[in-house]
Every structure is written in C-alpha cells, then in structure tokens.
Amino acid sequence: MNSLFTFVPGTSWLHRRSPVAKLAWFAAAVGIAFATYHPVPLAVVAVTGLALAALSGVGRPALRTMAVLGPLAASIIVLQALAPATCVAPCLVAAQVGPFAIGGAGLTRGVSLVLRVLAMETWAVAVLVTTHPSDLFAGLRRLHVPYTAAFMGSLTVQLVPVLGRELEIVLAAQRARGMSARGFGALIPALRPAFVATFERVQGMAISMEARGFGLAGARTSWRYVGLDRVDQALAILGAVALVAGVGAGIAWWGLDSLPVVVWPAAVAVVVTAVSAAAFGWLLVRALVLTARG
Amino acid sequence: MIDLHDVTVRFGTRGEPALDAVSLQVAAGEHVVVAGPLGAGASTLLRLLNGVVPHLVAATVIGRIRVAGLDPLTLPVYAMAGHVGMVLDDPGLTATQGTVAEEVAFGLESLGIPAGAMRPRVATALHDVGLDGLDDRDPATLSGGEQQRLALASVLAMEPSLLVLDEPATNLDPAGAAALLAILRRLCVGRGVTVIRADRDACGATSGATRVVRLAAGRIAADGPPDPDAALGLPAPLGPRSPTGHVVLAVSDVSLTYPGAATQALDGISLEVRAGEVLGMTGPNGSGKSTLARLATGLTQPDAGTVVVGGLDTRVRRPARERAAAAGLVFQDPRHQLLAATVREELALGLRALRTPEPEISRRTALIAERFGLGPLLDRHPLRLGRATRKVVAVAAIRAMAPQLLVLDEPTIGADDALRLLIAQEIVDAAGEGTGVLVLSHDVRLLALVADRVLVVANGRITASGSPGVLLANSLALAGAEAASAPAL
C-alpha cells in the first residue's frame, strides 16, 4: 500500500505537465485558501483539486487523504460550533440541544476551516502524486528556489513514504510477535521504532550528503533537467495570474478575516454538529480502547 | 596519503577511549584492511579520515591527522569530499535521491561536474558494481546488497584518491563481495587509488589487501602483510544432526509479484522444513530471500501456491498470537522489531502476547538473557544499543517465544566471529530442541556452521540444493576465482 502523498507513476495529462506549471497552480490554491474564510471559493478550490486528481487517475489517494483528515475535520467543526474562541456579533445561536448551544458563526467558521484544509490537501495530492520527487526538486530549482531549501523540500516529500514504509514493517514485526497490530492501539508502540529508524536514516543521509560534498562552495551542476514547453509556460503564467487574482479577490471582496453570515436551519446545524461529534467521539473511544488493550 | 600521529578519540566524558594513541601511516596506492572485533575502534578510525568524527559525530580528538595533505579536524567534511570517498556500514540509511542514477550523480553535482561528463561516469560506476539497468529505480526499493552496491557506486563515480569503506561487503553475496574486491584491486593497481576498509573477518590473502592492521580495544595490535596461510575456509558444522521430525513448514509452488514490479519476486518455489532441521537458503542480493521469510511467517500472502506452517495454511485468518506461536521471524533490520523501552521488556513482550503466565515469563527471560549474554544490558533501551547487539536482542526475543518454526533473515550482518558463533550455537540449540529453522543468509560461514541442507535461490527460483559443504565451498571458490582473475584497469 502506498503512503499518502507518494508519487504514483502515470501518463495522464497532469503527469506530463512540467512541475513548474503545477507548482504555480498549487501556489494559487494555497494563496486563495489563506486569503479568505468564505466557504464558496474554498469549496470551489477543493472540488477543482479533487476533480483534477480524479481525472489524472489519482482520485483514490486524494480520497484516502481526505479520510485520514476526517477526525481532524470533525474535531474542528465540533469545537468551533460548541466552544468558539470568539463570538462576533450578532452571535446567533443556530440551535439549542439541552445544555449545548450550537453557534451559527462558529459552525460557519468550522466548515470554512475544514474547506480550507481540503482545498490545500486536494491540490497537494494532485501535484505531489503526479510529480516524481526528483522532478519536483528540479522544478523548484528552475523557479530559483535556493538549492538547500529546494533540496530539503524534496527530501521531506521523499521521507513521507519512507516513514510509511517503516511503519508498515514495524506493524508486521508486531504481528510476528503475536500482537494484534491493528488500529491506533498498535500505532502508538509502532511509532517509536518507526521514528527512530527514520531519525537514524536522516542522520545517515546527512553524513552521506556532506561526505559527498553537499555544502561545497561554487556552482552545483544538475543531473536532471526539467523542460518547459509552450503549454507549460502558458499554464505557469495562468497559475501566477490565478494566484494574484485569487488572493486579491479574497482580500478585496471577502476580507482576510471576514466571515459571511450564514443562517443555519436548526435541523441542519444539529445534524452537522452531531455527525461530527459522533465521528470524533467514536474515534476517541476506539483509540482509548485499543490503547488499553495494548 | 594518511598520517595519524598519536591519535586518541573519546566519545562522551567517561569510559575507555574508542581509539587510544593510534599512529598509522598509509602510502598512496596501498590497500589496507582494518580488522578487529566489534568495538575495537575500526569504524571510528575510518570516520576520522574525512572528519565525520568529530564534526558530525561529536567526540574529543587528540593528536595529529593528515589525509592527502589536509587536516580533517579543521576542515569541514564536505571540503574533504574531492579527496576522500566514504561508504558507511549501513547503506540503507544513506540514499538521499529519488532514483539510483541521481544517487550516483549527487556527488558529481556537488563537485560541479558538467551534466555531459556526468552521464558516462554514472553509467561506468553502476556497471562496475553490477547495477546496470536499475537507473530509474527508487533506492529505497533495492535489497540490502543492492543498496550497498549503490553506496559504493555513488562514491566510485567521484573518483576520489582515497576510498574509505566501512564493512563494504557485509550485505553482499559471495559473488558481490568478490566483485567488490576485484574493483578495489583494479583501482589500487591500475589507478593508484588508496583503499582503507574495515573488515572484521579479514585476516588472510583472500582479503585482497596489501596490508592488515588489526585493532584491539582501540589500539593497534598488529600491522603487516596479510597472512598467506590464513585463507578463510569453511568452518566445521556445529555437531552432527539427523532431523527426522514432522514437517513444520511446507511451501508449495509459491509465486509472488509485487505491485508494479516487472518480474516475479518468487517463481514456483517449493520447500519443506522439518522439526529439528536447519535449512539454509542463500543466493544473490535481491533474489527473493526476504520475501520468502515474510511468506513463511504468514506476513505476506503468495499470488499462487500454498504456505503451511505448523499444519495450518497461512491464508486462513488466525489470531496473531497463534501465528506467532507457530512461526517467529527475526527481521533483517532489527530496528523494526524492537518495540519495548528496555531489553528486559523486549524479551518478555512476545511471551505476554502469547499469554504466558508471569512466573514463566520471568524464568524464560532470565534464561534467555543469560544464554545471549544480555544480563548487563537488561535495563538499557534496545534502540540505544549498537547495530549488532540489537540483532542479538531481536534473536533472543524471538527465541524466548519458542516458536515451532524459527526464520532468521540475515542474522549475522555486522557481526564479528564471536557474535556469529553465538548466533550459530543458538540456531543449533533451537534445532536440538525440536524447532524447525530456516536461515536466509549470504554468510556462507554461518550456513556451514548450522545448516543441514542448503538451497540456492536466484531470480526467485531455486537453482541448486544439497549438502552445505559442497555447495558453499563451490560458492566460495567461485567468488575467490572471480576476485583473483579481475584485470587491472
């Protein structure tokens, strides 16, 4: 099983695009996600990213990542709806369930935050899963990102599947020792050896890199060359325009911190909050039970 | 080329020094083997030569060091890269790039070699180590031996004047080790490259070296030409056995192809292991040995064929503890299976999963700790131990569980003679107690010590089987002949 954000080889239109163009559009998605709290543009960005991933044959990794983010999303909505950090006037209560008051503004903010995460996640998957890490590094270099920063970025992306593989082996080792090795209960003891293995790998990599001249003064040369044809050039320019326009629109029309006033029907507010609370609660209980079982 | 004068190295503030007043001179073109048991200081000595110690691994160093006329104690490690090429003893940790070719090109990029000049150097280095055609593979997907070859290629491509290699053959099969010696011989004789390498087993002419420096407790105990009479032969088996027990592992016509792989990892493999029998399996790096280890313990399922352990088909879902009681696996990399906070807990972990009563856990843990010499380490964290000691803990933890089938994947990587003998004795003892043992290893001396039968596997198929004496002696002889007949550049 592939880890999240692992490169999946393919020949789709997106696979064949230059990483420079893809990075430009990814930057646009992230820029818009941070420029506004308005759920509509955030939803548009998230759906576009998901559609792009699906059309490129990597919809499954995008959905898997969304599933992994599910508990985080549920907790955000529950906490924002029931215990918002601030309550800006008119501070409407969308519904009252016993002692729990579901705040309309808090619910909107929770949904917006989840959409913000999804907007970035779907585009990150679409870009990273269709781009070989080496091409990503070469693309960043082509964009004149400093060598060390580009290398570290590329290395971080490569370490995600490494950590996934290490975890998979440790879980297999747990099963070989007679442990159930399923769920969160297994994950907790598995994390330590997986992280130690990854940490030792990073240490070994650092020695290996420096022993092969990483850090030497003078112009480095490059083995890998990333092409940029006319389609890619046009896409890269359009991506840059989308970034500027999206951020500008976000700030000018919707405001960096402005939240639209959404009047939630009481039933909808209750259902959204209850489903999120149930998902979050089920996860917590399951984690506690599995941890107690060891 | 190398001039060490009265060098003492100390890690931390207490304890004995790792190197104690060592003086050593090595001329250009020499091929020096640094031999000695675990902890003798060989790795520390090598890591001094490009400044990894003390710049990247903190240590106090006293004395004078010159390498290619430079002082590695004052220069940063990267400044030595044009002169000193280093391969560490755990190549699985060192790959930094997304493909094999890029890994080899990394050092050339650092040195500013133009792209046009890089390509032939990368191709030559990959050809020299036998990795032709793997240019676009992800290094993380290579076998342990292939990763070792890759680490070597990535240094060879840089054409350093001094090669520093820490146990470069520890993950290699005999043919790979022979090819390595051939390459080193060509570099020394043909190009005047100086080679210094740690090799715990080396002592005689078969080491390919012009000189052997033997370390003991951080000091040079001997320094001279290799002993021509000390050529390594196969050791005698540890006691005769005639296993006639019931079948504990039956693998029938098993095939497996990993997703996305072009070739089969295993192709129609069949074998049996009986209670009380030690079956050895050897073969080139990447031939499918580790895959078979996972299949034999039910951690991986075949595409075709059946695997029956302890009378039960591994395709049938059973509780993990039942599977663990039937078959125990010692992984190639012990880091992955050390899960507890102390060695004591590590030894007890599997027994608890098997629901063994606490008094029995205490008794068996104490017994195993004594047999493996782990008594002084019982309260240490397993992951803070050295690589070879971790392996001992991993073997001990599985032995404590007393499974019907014991599977060991490369149990002697990084081990010295004493450790190899300890593990070999444990394998033989396990078989004596009626356990079926499957040892997957390219350590022919271990297999000669313990195996009742040996299978040779290549490209996922069994290509030979027979008594260990004949098969392994042929393997060693062939490897030695290849090394000796390699032409100079």
Beta bridge pairs of residue A95 = A102
The pLDDT value recorded for residue B140 is 79
In a domain, B355, yes or no: yes
Interface predicted TM-score (ipTM) over 0.85: no
Based on the fold, state whether residues B394 and B305 are members of the same structural domain: yes
State yes or no: pLDDT of B217 exceeds 70.
yes
The pLDDT value recorded for residue B338 is 87
Based on the fold, state whether residues B190 and B135 are members of the same structural domain: yes
- What is the Cα–Cα distance from A117 to A128, expressed in whole angstroms? 16
Based on the fold, state whether residues B8 and B140 are members of the same structural domain: yes
> Of B18-27, B345-354, B472-481, where does mean pLDDT reach its minimum?
B472-481
Average pLDDT over residues B227-251: 74
Confidence band of B241 (pLDDT split at 50, 70, 90)? low
In a domain, B145, yes or no: yes
Summarised one tens digit per residue, pLDDT across range A221-236 is 888 777 788 898 999 9
The residue of chain A nearest to residue B348, with distances taken between CA atoms, is A177
Residues A213, B110: C-beta atoms closer than 8 Å: yes
Residues A197, B106: C-beta atoms closer than 8 Å: no
- What is the overall mean pLDDT for chain A? 82
Cβ atoms B278, B439 nearer than 8 A? yes
Confidence band of B132 (pLDDT split at 50, 70, 90)? confident
Which one of B231, B265, B293 terminates a domain?
Answer: B231
Based on the fold, state whether residues B288 and B206 are members of the same structural domain: no
Based on the fold, state whether residues B168 and B269 are members of the same structural domain: no
> Of A65-74, A176-185, B12-21, where does mean pLDDT reach its minimum?
A176-185
Residue among A134, A192, A218 whose CB faces B98 most closely = A134
- Residue B387 forms contact with A (CB below 8 Å): no
Percent of chain B with pLDDT over 70: 91
Residue among A173, A209, A210 whose CB faces B331 most closely = A173
In a domain, B242, yes or no: no
- What is the overall mean pLDDT for chain B? 85
DSSP letters for A199-235:
HHHHHHHHHHHHHTTTT-SS----S------HHHHHH
Cβ atoms B178, B480 nearer than 8 A? yes
Based on the fold, state whether residues B214 and B323 are members of the same structural domain: no
Identify the domain containing residue B77 by its residue range: 2-231
Cβ atoms B197, B213 nearer than 8 A? no
Based on the fold, state whether residues B114 and B256 are members of the same structural domain: no
The pLDDT value recorded for residue B485 is 44
Residue A240 distance to chain B (closest CA, Å) = 28
The pLDDT value recorded for residue A114 is 92
In a domain, B237, yes or no: no
What's the CATH code of the domain at B277?
3.40.50.300
Best residue of B109, B295, B384 to probe chain A, by most A CBs closer than 10 Å: B109
In a domain, B276, yes or no: yes
How far is CA B403 from its chain centroid? 25
Contacts of B94 in chain A (CB under 8 A): 204-205, 207-208
Based on the fold, state whether residues B177 and B147 are members of the same structural domain: yes
Q: Residue A194's closest CA among B393, A151, A186, A152?
A: A186
The residue of chain A nearest to residue B91, with distances taken between CA atoms, is A204
Based on the fold, state whether residues B81 and B114 are members of the same structural domain: yes
Based on the fold, state whether residues B223 and B104 are members of the same structural domain: yes
- Residue B438 forms contact with A (CB below 8 Å): no
Average pLDDT over residues B396-415: 90
The pLDDT value recorded for residue B258 is 82
- What is the Cα–Cα distance from B444 to B280, expressed in whole angstroms? 9
Residues A208, B93: C-beta atoms closer than 8 Å: yes
CB pairs under 8 A between A and B: 178
Summarised one tens digit per residue, pLDDT across range A138-147 is 788 778 888 7
In a domain, B72, yes or no: yes
Summarised one tens digit per residue, pLDDT across range B151-203 is 999 999 999 999 999 988 877 777 777 778 888 888 888 888 899 999 876 55
Best residue of A7, A129, A192, A212 to probe chain B, by most B CBs closer than 10 Å: A212
State yes or no: pLDDT of A48 exceeds 90.
yes
Q: Two tokens at A184?
A: 């969160």
In a domain, B412, yes or no: yes
The pLDDT value recorded for residue B479 is 54
Summarised one tens digit per residue, pLDDT across range B413-443 is 878 888 888 999 999 999 999 999 999 998 8
Which one of B231, B255, B285 terminates a domain?
Answer: B231
Summarised one tens digit per residue, pLDDT across range A54-81 is 999 888 888 888 888 888 888 889 888 8
State yes or no: pLDDT of B489 exceeds 50.
no
Q: Two tokens at B124?
A: 């030559």
Which one of B231, B260, B292 terminates a domain?
Answer: B231
Best residue of A140, A208, A222 to probe chain B, by most B CBs closer than 10 Å: A208
In a domain, B239, yes or no: no
Based on the fold, state whether residues B37 and B178 are members of the same structural domain: yes
Based on the fold, state whether residues B202 and B273 are members of the same structural domain: no
> Of A96-100, B296-300, B447-451, where does mean pLDDT reach its minimum?
A96-100
Most confident of A132-136, B227-231, B237-241: A132-136
Task: Say whether B51 sits in a helix, a strand or coil.
Answer: coil
